[in-house]
Each structure stands twice: as C-alpha cells, then as structure tokens.
Amino acid sequence: KGAKRIPALMAVMSVWALTMHWFDFHWIAMPVLHPEHAGFHWLDFTCWLGLFGLTMGLCYYRLSRHSLVPQRDPYLQKSIHFVNA
C-alpha cells in the first residue's frame, strides 16, 4: 500500500517492468530472427522511441481538445480540498 502512494517509486517500478519485458521478448525472438548473432541494432531502440513519441503526441492531442477540470460541477471546490487519509 505504501509503495503505491509514492509516484517516483511507481515510475521506477514501471520502467523496470517494461524494460525487463522488452529484454525477455528480445531474448526469445532475436535468436529466431537472426541465428548467427542476437545482438542489438540501433533500430531496436529507435522503434520504441518512435512509438513512445507517437503515443505521447496522441495523448497530448486528445487531452488538449477537452478541459481536464469539470465544468459546472457543484462539488468541485470540495473535491479540490479533499485529502485522502
């Protein structure tokens, strides 16, 4: 319960899990695709960077079209000052 309330720790754990998942996939798939050597290519990293950029761009585009704060919400002020104990 405590680790889930620390955003920096959650970010590190998420990056770790995604990295290990990618290494696992790479370890399993690359010997089949390239039996002579299972090394890394620069495209292995740039494709993920491109997908990340595309995803972030799409999220930014979708979020910029709508207000993130609810409009005409009678409980807005109360919910802003709410503290989860």
| The predicted structure's pLDDT at residue 1 | 63
Q: How many domains does the chain contain in total?
A: 1
Tell me whether residue 44 is in a domain.
yes
Cα–Cα distance, 53 to 47 (Å, whole number):
10
Between CA 78 and CA 11 the distance in angstroms is: 29
- The per-residue pLDDT of the chain, averaged, comes to 86
Indicate the residue type of 29: A
Residue 58 lies in a domain: yes
The span from the CA of 1 to the CA of 20, in Å, is: 23
pLDDT digits 0-9 by tens, 14-52: 999 998 998 888 777 776 666 777 677 788 789 889 999
Whether 78 has a pLDDT exceeding 70, the answer reads yes
Q: Does the model's pTM come out above 0.85?
A: no
CA atoms in the 13 A half-sphere facing the CB of 56:
6
Q: Is there a domain that residue 24 lies in? A: yes
In a domain? residue 16: yes
Please say whether the beta carbons of 22 and 48 come within 8 A.
Answer: yes
Instruction: Assess if residue 46 is contained within a domain.
Output: yes
